[in-house]
Each structure stands twice: as structure tokens, then as C-alpha cells.
Chain A
Amino acid sequence: MPIHKRTFSDWTLDIFVYGFMIALGLVTLLPMVHVFSKSVSSDWALVSGRVNLLPVGFQIDTLVNVVTSGAFSRAFLISAIVTTVGTLLSILVTAITAYPLSKRHLPGISFLMVLFVFTMLFNGGLIPNYLLIRELHLINSLWSLILPAMISVFNMLVIKSYYEGLPEALEESARIDGARSYTILFRIILPLSMPVLATIALFYAVGFWNDYFSPMLYISDPALKTLQLHLRDVVMENDTANAINRSADDLMNMSPESIRAATVVASTVPILLVYPFLQKYFIKGVLIGSVKG
């Protein structure tokens, strides 16, 4: 509004808007800053309760020790495996399943759609799911974390609506040339759908990485703990003894509080590193999902 002269009410509004946003930003950052400071402060400063916003008696031994401990690095590796394998398989199956379901005029497809969508609205609940995994002998198998999460109907619907927006002429000419469905899907549809597939792949990846609930239900073997489960044990059960490199000489200098803070920080960093990508693609995904609605 270049011609508009700024009035008193405009100034008050601006002060309020900027003030509100700055306060919101600070409240969001505060817990992270506080925990980070605790993770890099010396133990005497922590125990005497002197660490608030800035680190006191800076050190990174605890952080290094936590990251190099067997439990953390193993859990990190397990999470990386589950996330990678889970995301690749999920995106593959979801992208394939969405294709036939986008052919709405084919007989039976609308019935199958109902079958898929119904599971979004009604589920068996915790115990039947647990008993199923038990029956399948998947307890203490990493497949228990991947297989049940592989087909998210919501994600499938987002991909399906993207396919439906692609020009039909592309497929038609291939079909006249005698191409079969899987050729059309893999050679024409999927390469054209890369933006939505990337977004949905990130949805899955964040889901697998952040999931602590399934590991808590299905994994009890310490060698198969995921990072979130390891973190849960440190945070909730105060299981800090396993969280550090016991062979270190400076074991004496680490309090449970500093180990806990360091484990939280070390688990947060990987997500923050990829956050710029996540933000960009996730917003796209949310908007595709809402346009569909």
C-alpha cells in the first residue's frame, strides 16, 4: 500500500504483530536452546542449577561420549536401516497401488477404493495389531516396524490425485503401441510424478524415523532398539548408564542430567540437518492433500 499514509492504528497493529511473532519464535526456541546449553555445560554448573540460556563451563565431552557410545551408534544405525528400507519399499508399493485406483471407470475400482478408505476411519486398535504381529512371529524383527506402516492410505490418495491430474494423451499413445500397464506406470507415470513422490517419500521417512510407538510394542531386544526407543529409555526410564561410553575415564564427571540432555541433542541434530528440505516438501504435501479435499 504505497500511497496509503501510515496511521496510528497501523503502527499499533505492526508493533503487536511483530511483538507476537518474536514472542512465539522465542517460546519455540527456548526449550531447544536450554537443552543444548545443558548438553555442553560442565557438570558442576549443571548440578548447581546455574545453566539457563547460555552454556556455563563449556565442554563437549559428554556429547562426544554419548554419540560414540555403543548403544547410541547402534540405535542410530538401526533407525537409519529401518528408515531407508521402509521408505523405499513404502513409496514403491504406494506408487504402484495408486495407479490402478486412479482408473475410476474400471469395474470394481470404486469398491476397492471404499475398502482402502474404510481403514482410515476404522481400525482394529492396539491389541489386535499386537496379536497379529505376534502370530506372524515378527516380535523382535525389524519387519514389524516396516510392513504394517508400508501402505498409508492418506499418502496413497495424494499420489492417486496427482496421477489423475496427468494428461491422458500420454498414456493413450503408449497403449495404442501395445504397452502394458507396468511399462506405462514405470516409464511414463512415475517419471512425471517425481515431485509428489519425493514429498510422500519424505512423509514416510519422517514417520519411520520418529516412530517410537511400534518399536516400544514390538522390540525388546537391546540390539534392535531404534534411536527413538533408546532415547525413550534414557528420558523416561532414566536408563543413562547404557547411554555413554563406559570405558571412558571421565565417566565420573557425567551426571544423568547432562547425559540426558546430550542424548536429546544428539537425536535432534539429524532431523534439524535435513529440516530445510523437509520444510519445503512437506508444505507442498500439505497443500496437495488439502486441495484434494
Chain B
Amino acid sequence: MSELITPLNEKAEGVKASRKREGRRRLIWRNIDTYLLLTPGLLLLLLFKYVPVYGVVIAFQEYNIFDGISGSEWVGLAQFRKLTHSAEFMQVFANTLLISVYKIVLLFPIPIVIALLLNEIRFTAFKRTVQTIIYMPHFLSWVIISGLFMTILSPSDGLVNSVIQWFGGEPVKFFMDNSVFRSVVVFTAGWKEIGWNAIIFIAALAGIEQEQYEAASIDGASRLRQMWHISLPGILPTIILMLILRLGIVLDAGTEQILTMYNPTVYESGDVIGTFVYRTGLGKMDYSFSTAVGLFNSVVGFILVVSGNWFSRKVLKRGIW
């Protein structure tokens, strides 16, 4: 870097603390124009990220919108006690875990399979066409996707129910039936993202040395064996890293998705933490209780992501930070 900045590192050793502090101050002063560039970003960060972080204190209050944070009564852990005793919350928590686990178990492996299979296609035009089609849903909003599936799954005139009836079955009310609603949530989430999520694995596959395949081929290994013994081990670190990242957000079962799909009939199977916070907070104006639920969610999420990253750095020598 510039003349003005480097000397610190060279001189740093053996210089007394006071002189070092003076050096720091001089360094800051000389680069004050660089620091000033942070002003807009830092202001936005403090106002829109850190003020809400401070706002979680209302989880320890009986918050009243007229009295504000300063005037509302402090109730300690009462909201959290209410949370652990709420049968509704337990149901919501179970739904969240169920939907999330289904999504991980059923949807996490598919992008890996897609990447491995696409890697076998030599016909480039076909490969590109498939990629263009399967990446597309990633760019559609949840509202659009919800509209698409409410139409195709409609009990009266949707394509899927036409087929079911053609085979002699009874029409299924996909968005009204607690026994299938979770499947609809998992399927539509897969429809939107499995293609897109394959990209990272496709990139990892492109990084495998071509010589390995050539050598295996000369040794007479079939393409299936090459896939199993070269491709899959080659992308294994990426797979594990992505899985750890995915496990870190296990408490987000797809709030924005479910908010566009559910209705009171399927609260029993589809209400998750995020949608529950929305309903109780903004619907019933129970600000303190829903903030407590949100805080519980944020804290568990934080612990999961941080420990996942720690584990990943330890085992894979790779992490997100």
C-alpha cells in the first residue's frame, strides 16, 4: 500500500506502546478521507441493523406502543416462560423442524445429482438449454410461484387434479389439506431452487483435473465408476461446506414462502416460527411475545451458524469467515 501507511508494520516491533498509539493516531489522521467514506454505510448499518438489535429488549417487557421502550414495564423472562408453556408454539416449533428436515433430506442431495449428471453431457447445446430452464425459477418471486402452483394444483381445474381424476382418483385440495400441505411446501421450494443450487457443485466439478478422468479411462474404468471415484470425492469438501451452511439455517423453514401459501386451514401443519411471529406480532399486536419468539430464533440461529463455521474450519480448513 501507499507510503503513508506501510511504515507502521515495519516499525511496530520494539516501539513503545505510547509511540505506537501516537503512530496509530497519525495513521488515522492521514487517512481520514478514507474513513470518511464509511459515513453513509455506517449510518445505515447502525440505524437499520443495530437499532433493531437494541429493539429486542422489548422481549423482556410488556411493550406498549404508546409508552415506547422507555415507558413500558419490564417483566424479565415472563415472555419466554409463556413461550415454553404455549402448546401453539410447540406445534409451530415442531412444524419448523419437520419442514426444514424434509427440505434438507429430500432437497439437499438433488442439486449434487444434477451437477454430476450434467457433467456427463457432452452435447453442449442440450446442456445449456437444460441449465437455462432449470435456473429460471430462482428469479421468480414467491408470490408468482405461489400463483403458479395454486393454479396447477387447483382442485377444480388444475392440471394435476385433472390427471388424478383421469386415473379415477378424488381431487386433492393441496392448499387446504393438512396431510399434504407440507409436501406442497417442500416440493415448491425444490422447484424453485434445486437447479440454481447445482451451480456451486457444477463449478466445483469444473475444478477437477481432466487428467484424472483420462487416466481412469485408460485403466478401463466405466463412466459410472469415474463419477463415483473421481467426481464425487472431488466435490466432497464443497458438499460438506454447503451442508454445514444449510444446517445453520435449519430454523428458517421458509417464512416468506409459507406466508404466500398458507391459510388458517393448514396452520396446524404449516405454521412455522417466522410465520407465527408475523401472525402474533403484526396480526394480534402482541409485540413483546413475538419479539421473544424472534429472539429465540435469532439466538439459536446464531449459535448454529457460528458453531457450524467453527466445525468447518476445524475439519475442512474452510469456512465462510
Report which A residues bind B (CB closer than 8 A). Answer: 1, 4, 7, 9-10, 13-14, 16-18, 20-21, 24-25, 27-32, 34-35, 38, 46-47, 49, 51-53, 93-94, 96-97, 99-101, 103, 105-108, 112, 115-117, 119, 121-132, 147-148, 150-151, 156, 168, 171-172, 175-176, 180-182, 185, 206, 209-213, 216-217, 228, 231-232, 234-236, 257, 260-261, 263-264, 267-268, 271-272, 275, 278-279, 282-283, 286-287, 290, 293
Q: Is the CB of A24 within 8 A of B141?
A: no
Q: Is the CB of A151 within 8 A of B41?
A: yes
How many Å lie between the Cα of A123 and that of B45 in the bound state? 11
- Which among A16, A21, A52 has the highest number of chain B CB atoms within 10 Å? A21
Could you list 15 further interchain pairs (A-B, Cβ under 8 angstroms) beyond the known A122-B299, A126-B277, A128-B56? A24-B134, A27-B191, A28-B136, A107-B24, A123-B49, A128-B53, A128-B55, A130-B282, A131-B55, A150-B44, A231-B144, A271-B140, A272-B136, A286-B199, A293-B318
Offer 11 A-B interface pairs, CB within 8 angstroms, sorted by A.
A25-B133, A28-B133, A52-B159, A93-B40, A100-B34, A106-B27, A172-B1, A182-B33, A263-B147, A272-B136, A286-B200
Known contacts A126-B277, A151-B45; is A34 also within 8 Å of B55 by CB?
A: no
Chain A contacts for B40, CB-based, 8 A? 93, 96-97
- Which among B35, B56, B117, B159 has the highest number of chain A CB atoms within 10 Å? B159
> Which residues from 116 to 164 on chain B have a C-beta closer than 8 Å to any C-beta of chain A?
117-118, 120-121, 126, 129-130, 132-144, 146-152, 154, 156-159, 162
Beta-carbon nearest neighbor of B166 in chain A: A52
Beta-carbon nearest neighbor of B133 in chain A: A25
B212 sits at the interface (CB 8 A): no
Chain B contacts for A128, CB-based, 8 A? 51-56, 58, 291, 294
Binary A-proximity of B267-311 (CB < 8 A = 1, otherwise 0): 000000010011001100001001100110111011001100000
Report which B residues bind A (CB closer than 8 A). Answer: 1-6, 8-9, 24, 27-28, 31, 33-38, 40-42, 44-45, 47-56, 58, 65, 114, 117-118, 120-121, 126, 129-130, 132-144, 146-152, 154, 156-159, 162, 191, 195, 199-200, 203, 217, 222-224, 241, 256, 259-260, 274, 277-278, 281-282, 287, 290-291, 294-295, 297-299, 301-302, 305-306, 318-321
Q: Is the CB of B133 within 8 A of A29?
A: yes
Q: Is the CB of B121 within 8 A of A123?
A: no
- Which among A18, A105, A235, A271 has the highest number of chain B CB atoms within 10 Å? A235
Contact partner, A126, options B36, B50, B129, B294, Cβ 8 Å: B294
Q: Is the CB of A125 within 8 A of B44?
A: no
Chain A contacts for B146, CB-based, 8 A? 235-236
Q: Is the CB of B151 within 8 A of A31?
A: yes
Chain A contacts for B299, CB-based, 8 A? 122
